[in-house]
Amino acid sequence: MKIIMLGAPGAGKGTHAKHITQKYSIPAISTGDIFRENIKAGTELGKKAKGYMDAGKLVPDELVCDLVVDRINQDDCKNGYILDGFPRTIPQAEALTDALKKQDDAIDFAIEVKVPDDVIIERMSGRRVCKGCGATYHIKNVPPKKEGICDECGGEIILRDDDAPETVKKRLEVYHEQTAPLIEYYDKLGVLKAIDGTQSLEKCAEDIDKILG
């Protein structure tokens, strides 16, 4: 069961990936984790990636794809995996398709979590994080007992720069320009499935389970 999670930043892909991981015992893989692990271990691919990153350059698509394929060939991915945050662009998707084809393999499902931009902006701009312990809140959905104060440690709760409405809008613009075309790409491959990400977590989990069967 090889799965790609698609959807805008803030759509809840990571949350739904956790559900799949727990229910189906397959790992959720992010490119950030892969970079960190390879750089820490000093692998050849890690050294190459670090060279680009240290120079302030983007890691080339081909190298990112090599790192991902190396990771999904590890033992814990024998029964499948979830890719969250990769591919981000059509060239990355094409590189992944080609690399898997060489191994006589392919992605089984690309699950799109559909959430309108205005809902994402409200969700993300309402998020608050404790400076002390990192506990997360939402001013509307999960507010702290005392405004601005963390329930867990009494620390100050802040709006992160990443969650400011203007930043979220810019991230959504980049998503629609670079990543949204993947929806059509995987639809043409016949593996695209979609869920309504504005539903409750329980209903989303039910819909995902129906897709994965």
| Domains contained in the chain, CATH given | 2-116+171-212 (3.40.50.300)
Q: Given this model, what pLDDT does residue 58 score?
A: 86
User: What residues are labeled active site?
Assistant: 13, 88, 127, 160, 171
- H helices of 42-116, in order, are 44-54, 61-72, 90-102
Contact 127, 12 (CB under 8 A): no
* Residue numbers in the chain where pLDDT is lower than 50: none
pLDDT one-digit tens code per residue, 158-194? 999 989 999 999 999 999 999 999 999 999 999 999 9
